Structure 1
Amino acid sequence: MSPARFVSAQDLFAAFPTAAKDIGAAPNGEAPLAFAAALAAAGREMAAIAFCAYLLERRKASWWACQAMRCLPSAPTPHELRALDAAEKWVRQPDEASRRAAYDIACAGDKRSPATFVAYAAGFAGPSLKLSTAKAAEVLLIRVTPQLTAQCVRAAFLLAGARLPLSQKCDYLRSWLDQGMQLARRG
């Protein structure tokens, strides 16, 4: 979702009812990037990152999270690399097979890993998911709500932030926010 889609931060909150709880701040009619900057200036970088997760179109939000997770100080595990690779593949080739592969890798992943949630972000980027049931012939079509990608991106950043040494956390949060805001400026 580019800034052009939302004239004000309030428009974003109206489009995504879950944003108010996830971000934890109420806008006052500011432009979207001004609202994110105000959050950061108030020392609420994680809230500003959550706002950017909602502001960005799903592919850009997933890409942003992938790049950020690849720059963490600890080396990713083999599963984390597979999860990030799958999410990036969907970003580059946003077809159903790539999206489903990202979702399947996320489902098999460590739920404490930021990379798992990046793969979920890509997996939840469509209008629905086809899931097989215990009965081989049954397939369920599950509707995916529009905010799930943003919520998964937010979760990835929260988990990544929790893993950072305290001495580096502020620098990482600012860097992630700068990257997200740059992507949003590009529209």
Structure 2
Amino acid sequence: MANFFSNLFSKGATGLVDAVGDILDNSFTTEEEQQELENELSKAAMRHEAEMGKLALEDKKASLADIASARENQSRVQESEHASWLAKNVHSLLAVSIIALTFLMYFWIIQGDMKAIAEAGVKDIVIYILGALTTISTQVVAYYFGSSMGSQTKQKSMDKIAEDMARKMTDK
């Protein structure tokens, strides 16, 4: 999502810079003045892009910190002597229930009479519920069995953004 906004505002800034540049081209007469203006506008666009990259990086860091905080909290509950059995197992119970419900729903659809479901007018509702359960099941599996490859990819992305920002800041 952050990349979408970054691209949107980056492209918008470039379009704005081009439009302002075209208007000012008509006002300045010498090549030197036009070149100086273009340089200033390019610098402004680069500063804007660097700021958008910085904001995207901060957003990603905040998101990862939130995930880490939630997992740390769950670990503390698991290790607590005073936590009840339910408190220690609620995540696992919900995860197993969601996965089981998803598979039961798939089984029901495969074994069921789709014509009867369609005639009852609940086909769209069944498909919606199955889609939601499938999405949640995917998140449950990613939480418990998520690969370290995703973390590596995220870290590489963050490192690249930081490197690009540092390069742009030194180019000023």
The structure with the greater share of residues assigned to strand is 1
* Larger of the two Rg values belongs to structure: 2
Highest relative contact order (Cα 8 Å, sep 6+), 1 or 2?
Answer: 2
Q: Same fold (TM over 0.5)?
A: no
